[in-house]
Chain A
């Protein structure tokens, strides 16, 4: 499952927020806190659910962030966040989720899609 949004801000500006794994609660509705220790990030959802994640990729040059959720309902998961420079002062932010069972990919990507829209509002509103 993939969701994407175009944002009228430069890629480095967008990356400065989404590339900081500890700041996800600022742009992802439904996540109320995030703590990062080494390659482990633990987010807590608004439902009170703690979700430990393994950070797989954190590449400021490619502006790519990848992580795996480590919860019992998931046999496998990989989410990939990319920020692409469109060369005109705007950027494309893409969020892909692969998961087994696939239903969870829809749940994760669905929430991420709404988060991307919120991210755009934040970034463009900060103008």
Chain B
């Protein structure tokens, strides 16, 4: 028998929301314990800061340019490579439970397999889809065609209207505010905890694990939709944290004048979005103007986000208890991470977009190797990428990483990881296009802006992570850093993956 593998992903979770990473708001003892037993990565970086490209990178082990999902709404081709397919070929039982999002959600024609499957069951036609023989899917609420929404409508129809509608009647990301502060994408949700999608994902994972044969090798991707907005956790759980007691995050610049000066030193789309004069993507409510964000709204969002993180931690604890009860804990590898981060008040902003700073780029990543492997606990400070997850899973399963994977197995200690990590952003939506390429290396983050609607390629961002951990001082135009900037840009350009041709088309907003 081989090692069992549990890949746990959340959606849009910041690095600093875990206790083991210094977070003081959410209590995350389960993940903290895994970190203490395993390897905690101090700088795990996504290859894209939005869901579909990033999740496609996790599955394929490729950069967005290579797998072709260059923005949300571009479906990952059905025949794209998949590490899960390799595992299945090696005899692993495979499941994906929770949020997949390799294919667009907005699909009134039910064209995409993920959206068509729930009406038929949990076993994809032909026995698997993307290597998963069992799929039970969920997203952020009761809208849509996925398993969780169907289950909620069938079993607890009274709960459907309790959830915040993520998109409005015009299929725009909803800008409506709620809660005590009127913050966008916030709603008081009276749903019972056991009906909430976090517990549903854990329940379905437990049911799948309980159904496995004792001698099975298995891989499960347990994918929680939270703490991605909307921030509408079960209201009964909100008693854990009073938002009025929540400190403002270090990245929130309370002084409006100072905040706007910091934004003005960044490429122009930062300030344009803040002021409401430019909407460059579908990742935030188009009708919401960030400059209206108040300190209390940041506090309430952070409180709700923290409660969602705690619920995830507790749900993971239940799953690990089940694994232990099956006698598999000693042979279980657990990887815990997310697809990208959340601005969550940094620079007076919420949500995500073409902004390659720590709020979106520094991710929680914990790998607890199977205790039977004898791997020593460690903290890795050098950068790694989500592109490294696929070869890591292959290595755990005893499989060679195929040539189409572009990452490398996660290092077990500093000095063993990649020299550089690359991140991409491309978006073209209703006449506005933005294109970023970023390199993280040697304690620096450098972003070049390719020509787009508001950029002419003269702008950029350069941050010294050791001196400026909040990325509030853009050194792009600093003459003292010019030579170093040019070296980073040259390195970035030299290592860009070749873009897939022909380019895949956007088929839906998200």
Residue numbers of A with Cβ under 8 A of B are 3, 29-31, 45-47, 49, 51, 73, 101-104, 106-107, 110-111, 113-114
Contacts and interface: CB of A to CB of B under 8 A. Distances in A.
Contacts of A101: 170-172
A113 B507 contact: yes
A34 to B, nearest CB: 13
A74 to B, nearest CB: 9
B505 interface: yes
Interface string B87-108: 0000000000000000010111
Given A29-B109, A47-B109, A73 B171 contact: yes
Contacts of A31: 109
Contacts of B115: 47
A110 to B, nearest CB: 3
Interface string B55-73: 0000000000000000001
B505 A45 contact: no
Q: Which 3 A-B pairs rank lowest in CB-CB distance, beginning with the nearest?
A: A30-B109, A110-B507, A46-B110
A73 B170 contact: yes
B508 A114 contact: no
A53 to B, nearest CB: 13
A44 to B, nearest CB: 10
A101 B508 CA distance: 13
Contacts of B262: none
Contact of B430 (A45, A49, A102, A107): A102
Given A47-B145, A106-B506, A111 B109 contact: yes
Contacts of A49: 108
5 contacts: A46-B111, A47-B107, A47-B145, A110-B73, A111-B108
Nearest to B430: A102
Given A47-B145, A73-B170, A107 B110 contact: no
Contact of B508 (A45, A46, A102, A107): A107
B509 A111 contact: no
Chain A binding surface SS class: mixed
A102 B430 CA distance: 8
A29 B104 CA distance: 15
Contacts of B430: 102
Contacts of A30: 107-111
Contacts of B104: 110
B145 A110 contact: no
Contacts of A29: 109, 111
Nearest to B74: A110
Interface string B496-510: 000000000111110
B431 to A, nearest CB: 10
A45 B108 contact: yes
B170 A114 contact: no
Interface string B445-489: 000000000000000000000000000000000000000000000
Contacts of B172: 101, 103
B169 interface: yes
A114 B505 CA distance: 9
Contacts of B107: 30, 47
A106 B429 CA distance: 9
Contact of B111 (A3, A102, A111): A111
B505 A113 contact: yes
A75 to B, nearest CB: 9
A110 B112 CA distance: 12
Interface in B117-172: 145, 169-172
Contacts of B509: 103, 106-107
A106 B111 contact: no
B109 A73 contact: no
A110 B171 contact: no
Contacts of B171: 73, 101, 103-104, 107
Contacts of B169: 73
Given A47-B145, A103-B509, 10 more contacts: A46-B111, A101-B171, A102-B430, A103-B172, A104-B171, A107-B106, A107-B508, A110-B73, A110-B506, A110-B507
Nearest to B282: A103
B116 interface: yes
A30 B507 CA distance: 13
A30 B106 CA distance: 13
Contacts of A73: 169-171
Contacts of B170: 73, 101, 103-104
Nearest to A100: B170
User: Taking each of B107, B115, B172, which has the highest tally of chain A beta carbons within 10 Å of its own beta carbon?
Assistant: B107
User: Taking each of B109, B110, B170, which has the highest tally of chain A beta carbons within 10 Å of its own beta carbon?
Assistant: B109
A36 B388 CA distance: 53
A45 B73 contact: no
